[in-house]
Amino acid sequence: MTVHGKPSRLGRMALIGIVLTYLGLILILPLLGLVRHTYEVGFGESFLALLDEAALDALLKTLYLIVIAVVVNAVVGTVGAISIVRHRFWGRSLLSAFFDLPLAVSPVMIGLGFVLLIGRGGLLEPLLQVLDLKVMFSFWGLTIGTLFVTLPFTMREVAYVLEEIGSQEEEAATTLGASPFQTFWRVTLPNIRFALGYGLLMTVARTVGEFGAVLVLGGSISGQTQTATTFIHDAIEERKLPAAYGMSLTLAALSICLLLGLEWAKKQRKLKLSGRHTP
């Protein structure tokens, strides 16, 4: 329903109502249910359960994975975006598609693929034995799974902004005698900093919520390869509900903080791009 080419008030309210109802059913109600059950068992008991050695170790493992994912993706994502956007080479489109592979493939399936590659009887098992390197059911396995599932986010955000801003400023800097490093540090990096921050925030959010790949590659061994998400799974299986609820609320609070950070970074990025396009 439209009035003079514009959606009517009733139509807008109907659309908003549909969206809010959908979000309420799949997002808000489950969170309220989590809060309600945590209240029933006791908030104090739930959060005190996180002081257990296994819970603290799981949180620490997740923190380590966040740091590794952020550092690696900051470098690989930026280099990958510059390579795809600023350079032309054979296989460029294929490389760009490979960066998106983690978005299309189930983390559990990829975990299984790594098991067949580096697990017992895997193709790379002889090499790993020579190097005396244990990957499966170790922190290395958690790291590989996390890096795989977080691969696209930073690269895609940076690539989008690089395409938007073009290469005129970089070419001008090169013409004026700036080295590639000076051009990147003084021209490219300031232009992509908000996109880089946005991508890294998404990387953190993906790392915090990852379950399938780290479960398959790490095995969720308490005190060794258990992350915050696999801790929740194991706590529910063992009927340790206060610990499961406490960890779930902790991750939910962290996710909300990340959401607010993402919204801020998104607004800053839009302001940056709109400022560049203003005559």
Q: Which residue has the tokens 């938007």?
A: 164
Model pLDDT for residues 24-59, shown as the tens digit of each residue: 888 788 888 888 888 888 888 888 988 999 999 999
Let me know if 201 is exposed, middle or buried by CB neighbors in 10 A (0-12, 13-18, 19+). buried
15 and 66 co-located in one domain: no
Let me know if 241 is exposed, middle or buried by CB neighbors in 10 A (0-12, 13-18, 19+). middle
57 and 132 co-located in one domain: yes
* pLDDT band per the 50, 70, 90 thresholds, residue 277: low
Range of the domain at 13: 1-41
5 and 101 co-located in one domain: no
With residue 6 as reference, give the H or E element that holds it. Answer: strand 6-7
17 and 108 co-located in one domain: no
Q: How many structural domains compose the chain? A: 2
Measured distance CA(189)–CA(168) in Å, rounded: 14
Across the chain, what does the average pLDDT equal? 86
106 and 29 co-located in one domain: no
Give the pLDDT of residue 269: 66
Phi first, then psi, for residue 135 (nearest 5°) are: -105, -50
181 and 211 co-located in one domain: yes
37 and 50 co-located in one domain: no
180 and 247 co-located in one domain: yes
Q: Would you give the DSSP letter of residue 90? A: T
Q: Is the pLDDT of residue 222 over 90?
A: no
The structure's pTM equals 0.86
**Among 247, 216, 243, residue whose Cα is nearest residue 229:** 247
178 and 52 co-located in one domain: yes
198 and 217 co-located in one domain: yes
